[in-house]
Structure 1
Amino acid sequence: MTTPHSFEPAVPVHTYQRIVDQIEQAIISGEIPVGSQLSSERDLMVQFGVSRPTVREALRILQSMGLLESRPGTRGGPVVLAPSSKTLSRSLRALVGTDALDVAALVEYRVVLEGTTSRLAAVRHNEEQLGRMQAAIEQMERDAEANADTFAAADIEFHEAIWEASGNEMLRLTGEAVSGVLRGIIQRDVENEQHDNQLKLESAAIDRRLFEAIAEREASLASQIARRAVADRFGLLIESDVDRQALAALAE
């Protein structure tokens, strides 16, 4: 006796999507190396047996995915790009914008990520990375009461140096992506924050303590400072009492 199974209806796939899937898989597998060029549109039309509009739609989607880039003045097809945090950032922004992913989940992930990267950076950092962190901190302290834009740039540089010093490329990429999305949200929802000098001074002081813990290779302390800082900064984006309690527990 056969067992019934719940299948989903078969959905026709557009021809351009089949082209996207094949090229994407070839890039991911390394069959098409990063930095190389695809064939011209005319050659792709012949290879896939499709029209020019179909090829162009497939290439447009691959470019929107961050896998390809057209470069004016070059002969041949678009260039294959290395994976980057920008692609992930676009996906996360889309998920948040459509309520498929809530802000609380992003903040919780950022708490875990910063705590982990700071812990690893305390163990793995080299002198060049430590120098980048120190320069960024000093820039933040100089600009806390003067220039909001350069202060923000130095703050980003400080955290990027930590992600790099963690020695974990996955954490670095996701750190850049999640950080970018949260910055966009907080700038939209808390527009006056960038003008509050006291908040910038407090942020610089926290990052100074984090830097010192990393420099002294105090991994547990660095992780604790980082988790608490993220929870305090971004917790105001969370509306649910339960989610706020969960964030507090995660930050401990």
Structure 2
Amino acid sequence: MGGPRFEPVRTVRAYERIVEQVEEAIESGTLCPGQRLPSERDLMGQFSVSRSTVREALRVLQARGLVRSRPGDPHGAEVQPFTPTELRKSMTMLARVDGLSLGELVQFRMVLDSSANLLAARLRTDEQLAEMDTAIAAMRAAVEVGYDEFSTADVAFHDTVAQASGNKLIQICTEVVRSIVLGLIADKIAAAPDRVALMRQSIRHHEEVLAAVRAGDGPLAARLSRRTMYDYYVGYVPTSERPALRALLE
């Protein structure tokens, strides 16, 4: 017999309804960062639920990074500014369960970084150029110290470029995807026998990108970024996924 197929109805617990309503209020702007929710007692009255139900909802909201609730605080939980924590958790989980391959993550980094470089070349300030210079100087100094120090300086360079793009979503996604990629292969990079040579090569690439950004040549800065990212990561990506990365090269 034809017709629609229905799924069993899921029982929704009371605390989930509270979480949904608070999330909707934050998403709509009715609740803004820095504002406070009503007290536990007021929430109990408004939702007609027990104290334990309210506290369970607050635990979930806090775990999601949406509010901060202090034990014994007579005031209501405080709404927190947005952070990329939950986005990072979701994407990390996808990567861990093979929902996202390393090749896809690196390809996305190539897209993000090249776009950030193109925008930075056209929008950067003198102060941001100086920060990029400082980051590359720190990379040079870190070569003989160790990979962790080098990576920190490298991250500072890319963060400044992302900021210079002027796009908050590029900044957030760049930071999230980079942290996932490095988390997946950091041990392999640190253990590479030629890591000092790789670090020196990386510095040369960064200097070329910075020269293009300084000159205001967005297309060149973007092209160099994609090539640099490809050269640095392609050896860690399975052979079957490398054509997808090469497709971004000109």
Q: State the TM-score, normalizing by the size of structure 2.
A: 0.91
Q: CA deviation at 1:119?
A: 0.5
Q: Which residue of 1 aligns with 2:82?
A: 83
Q: CA deviation at 1:69?
A: 2.2
Q: Which stretch shifts more, 6-15 or 171-180?
A: 6-15
- Give SS of 1:250's match: coil
Q: Which residue of 1 aligns with 2:21?
A: 22
Q: Which amino acid aligns with 2:172?
A: L
- Give SS of 1:212's match: helix
- C-alpha deviations, 1:83-132, integer Å up to 9, x for none? 22222111111221222322222111111001111101001111111111
Q: Is the 8 A contact 2:103 2:244 kept in 1?
A: no
Q: Which residue of 1 aligns with 2:246?
A: 248
Cα RMSD (Å): 2.1
1:28-107 to structure 2, matched below 5 A, reads: 28-71=27-70, 75-107=74-106
Q: CA deviation at 1:13?
A: 1.8
Q: State the TM-score, normalizing by the size of structure 1.
A: 0.90
- Give SS of 1:32's match: coil
Count of matched residue positions in the alignment of Structure 1 and Structure 2: 249
d(CA) in 1 for partners of 2:48, 2:75? 18
- C-alpha deviations, 1:123-156, integer Å up to 9, x for none? 1111111111111011111211224333221111
Q: 1:230 to 1:8 in 2, by over 3 A?
A: farther
Q: Which amino acid aligns with 2:249?
A: A
Q: CA deviation at 1:34?
A: 0.8
Q: Is the 8 A contact 1:110 1:178 kept in 2?
A: yes
Q: 1:93 to 1:145 in 2, by over 3 A?
A: same
Q: Which residue of 1 aligns with 2:159?
A: 160
Q: 1:152 to 1:191 in 2, by over 3 A?
A: closer
1:174 paired with 2:173, answer: yes
- C-alpha deviations, 1:177-217, integer Å up to 9, x for none? 11111111111444414982221111111111111110111
Q: CA deviation at 1:219?
A: 0.6
d(CA) in 2 for partners of 1:176, 1:28? 23
Q: Is the 8 A contact 2:140 2:203 kept in 1?
A: yes
d(CA) in 1 for partners of 2:134, 2:218? 21
Q: Which amino acid aligns with 2:235?
A: L
d(CA) in 1 for partners of 2:117, 2:187? 27
- Give SS of 2:247's match: helix
Q: Which residue of 1 aligns with 2:197?
A: 198
List runs of 5+ in structure 1 lacking aligned partners: none
Q: 1:191 to 1:146 in 2, by over 3 A?
A: closer
- C-alpha deviations, 1:211-246, integer Å up to 9, x for none? 1110111111100111112222223332251x2111
Identity rate, percent: 37
d(CA) in 2 for partners of 1:56, 1:194? 52
Q: Which residue of 1 aligns with 2:216?
A: 217
1:4 paired with 2:3, answer: yes
Q: Which residue of 2 aligns with 1:184?
A: 183
Q: Is the 8 A contact 1:144 1:201 kept in 2?
A: yes
Q: Is the 8 A contact 1:37 1:80 kept in 2?
A: yes
Q: Is the 8 A contact 2:139 2:150 kept in 1?
A: yes
Q: 1:51 to 1:184 in 2, by over 3 A?
A: same
d(CA) in 2 for partners of 1:191, 1:70? 39
List runs of 5+ in structure 2 lacking aligned partners: none
Q: 1:200 to 1:169 in 2, by over 3 A?
A: same
1:126 paired with 2:135, answer: no
